[in-house]
Amino acid sequence: MFDLEWILQNLPRLLEALLVNVQITVFGYLIALTLGLLIAIVRRVPYFGAVLHAAMEFIRTTPLVIQAVFVFLLTPAFISPLTVGIVVIGVHYAAYTAEVYRSGIEGVAKGQWEAARALSLPVSRTWGAVVLPQAIRKVIPALGNYLIATFKDTPLLIAISVAEVLTVARQIGSASFRIAEVYTIVGFLFLIVTIPSAILLRRLERRYAAV
Amino acid sequence: MDFLIQRLPLYLDGAWVTIQLTIGGCALAFVLAMVFGIMGTIRHWLPRAIATVYVEVFRGIAALVLIFWMVYALPQLTGYQLADTFAAIVALGLNVGAYGAEVVRASINAVPRAQVEATVALNLSWSQRMRLVVLPQAWAQMLPTFGNLVIELMKASAVVFLVGIVDLTAVAQNMREATGETLIAFIGSFILYYLIAQVFIFGMRLLERRANRKLGRAVPGGGGLLALLKPEPVVTKSGVAK
């Protein structure tokens, strides 16, 4: 059933496509990290913050795949599906990371804010030198989990025909009729990426928990 | 607005499929999470190893890849074809069950050591200890994260339209193709997804409150049912939100 020669022949194409998944993960995650932090800070503004929170709640309770299809259909044709996919994944996960940052910011002791106030630090220094360094440090493991989660959501972009690994696997499968092989390989490829990253993350977690 | 009201039955059909997938997937995930989660706390290495393998494998593969495998690869390998909806439920359940097992394991391990020692002092058997002392306390700890997982499973179920199941996402697509109205067609599905999520969140909070009451813990924010609608502080330290 499993023809090793055939697998080796097609593996390079799949690995190349897997790089697209990695690319989507990296850029999407970078958007999520920066946008999420911005949202977590802006959320503290009265009224506007509440509206923003409701919008994030909506993004978090509706599926990523329908969001991707929806945005893809509404964007002009010259924007590539890959870009749309990266942005949608980035914004979706920003809704999650914003909550993570928020819990970190709320975990900073009140005395720290008061001390910054007493020293009459400007707002930028209060955030940049006092609050955020403490807040972010605490939430690094939680943020790390979302990196793996982002990676596992990248095959959803098959819905908007991004040339990622599952899309390519489907093409290979329908051209060769070796459907079982090709999807099994994709499953293994995912494990090869996610299991080592999970182990790495656990080590990171332990390191930050120890400090 | 008329657009959506006229087509409401179709949307509700799609929503019903989504709800079925969610409930079916959650039921399977719950059983798997309990079994493998408890196995993960047993001292003997064999059950622990089995639990670890289950968790790492099914947490590591994307739910969509698992669904594709179940629907397209499994029939070729075994000659048996599952009904598409059933295959999707199994894939979603296996995937989310792996996350759940970690939650169960962590919650059981978080029960204070003295509680376990007390059961030993009282000469309770392993099953008595689990049933009467450890699980009721771990249960209250699991529920908030389980609530997140229910929503995650509901959201993950949206990918089933890619294997031809007509769920809420598929309805949005069909509506758009039939009418050319992308915006309205999708907004209908978005709203329904949001509402379904809110209902599940509310239900999980009810369960949570009941679990805490049974342990004699005070319910924060007073008694009334309306208190459940208030957003709760999000706990991210558990690290299993997704």
Residue from B52, B54, B64 to probe the interface with A (highest A Cβ count within 10 Å) = B64
pLDDT at residue B76, rounded to an integer:
85
- Average pLDDT of A64-90? 94
Is residue A196 within 8 angstroms of chain B, CB to CB?
A: no
Contact A63 B155 (CB under 8 A): yes
Say what the pLDDT of residue B70 is.
92
In this predicted structure, what is the pLDDT of residue B203?
94
Write down the pLDDT at residue A209. 65
Q: What pLDDT shows up at residue A70? A: 95
Contact B149, B21 (CB under 8 A): no
What mean pLDDT is predicted for residues A92-121?
Answer: 93
> Is residue A126 scored above 70 in pLDDT?
yes
List CB contacts (< 8 A) between B183 and chain A.
74
Q: How confident is the model at residue B138 (pLDDT cuts 50, 70, 90)?
A: very high
Query: pLDDT of B26-39, one tens digit each?
Result: 999 999 999 999 99
- What is the reported pLDDT for B238? 42
Q: Does A27 touch chain B (CB under 8 A)?
A: no
Select from B61, B76, B183 the Cβ nearest to the Cβ of A187.
B61
User: For residues A100 and A36, is the Cβ–Cβ distance under 8 A?
Assistant: yes
Is A171 an 8 Å CB contact of chain B? no
As a whole number, the mean pLDDT across chain A is: 91
* 3-state secondary structure (DSSP) of residue B232: coil
Domain containing residue A130: 4-210
In chain B, where does DSSP find H-type helix? 2-6, 8-39, 45-60, 63-68, 74-78, 84-110, 113-121, 126-128, 135-156, 168-179, 182-214
Say if B59 is an interface residue toward chain A (CB within 8 Å): yes
Q: Does A149 touch chain B (CB under 8 A)?
A: yes
B-chain residue closest to A199, CA distance: B56
- pLDDT at res. A204: 82
Report the percent of chain A where pLDDT is more than 90.
Answer: 74
Q: Which of B64, B157, B168 sits opposite A156 (nearest CB)?
A: B64
What is the complex's ipTM, to 2 decimals? 0.89
CATH code for the part of the protein at B2-229: 1.10.3720.10
pLDDT value, residue A181: 87
pLDDT digits (tens, 9 = 90+) for B41-66: 998 999 999 999 999 999 999 999 99
Position B237 confidence tier, pLDDT thresholds 50, 70, 90: very low
CA distance B50 to chain A (A): 16
Our CA-based measurement puts residue B216 at a distance from the nearest CA of chain A, in whole angstroms, of 27
Give mean pLDDT, residues B118-146: 93
Residue A111 — very low, low, confident or very high, per pLDDT cuts 50/70/90?
very high
CB contact under 8 A, A166 and B64: yes
Centre a 10 Å sphere on the Cβ of residue B174 and count the other Cβ atoms it contains: 16
- Could you tell me which residues come within 8 angstroms of residue A133 by beta carbon, excluding any fewer than 6 positions away? none
CB nearest to A70's CB, from B65, B157, B186 = B186
**Residues B227, B231, B233: CA angle, nearest 5 degrees:** 115
Distances in Å between the Cα of B129 and the Cα atoms of B36, B37, B119, B184, B215 are: 18, 16, 6, 55, 16
Confidence of residue A210 (pLDDT cuts 50, 70, 90): low
Helix A132-153 / helix A81-106 crossing angle, nearest 10 deg: 140
Query: In total, how many domains does chain A have?
Result: 1
Which positions ≥6 away from A85 have C-beta within 8 Å?
Answer: A24, A28, A68, A72, A154, A157, A160, A162
Per-residue pLDDT reduced to its tens digit, B147-204: 999 999 999 999 999 999 999 999 999 999 888 888 888 999 999 999 999 999 999 9
Chain A closest-CA separation from residue B121 CA (Å) = 33
- Cβ proximity of B223 and B209 under 8 Å: no
CATH of the domain at A166: 1.10.3720.10
**pLDDT per position as a tens digit, A8-54:** 888 999 999 999 999 999 999 999 999 999 999 999 888 999 999 99
Pick A191's closest partner by Cβ from B60, B157, B168: B60
Query: Angle at Cα B25 formed by Cα A173 and Cα B99, nearest 5°?
Result: 90
Q: Which of residues 109-148 of A touch B (CB under 8 A)?
A: 139, 141-142, 145-146
Per residue in A138-187, pLDDT (tens digit) is 888 889 889 999 999 999 999 998 999 999 999 998 888 888 889 999 99
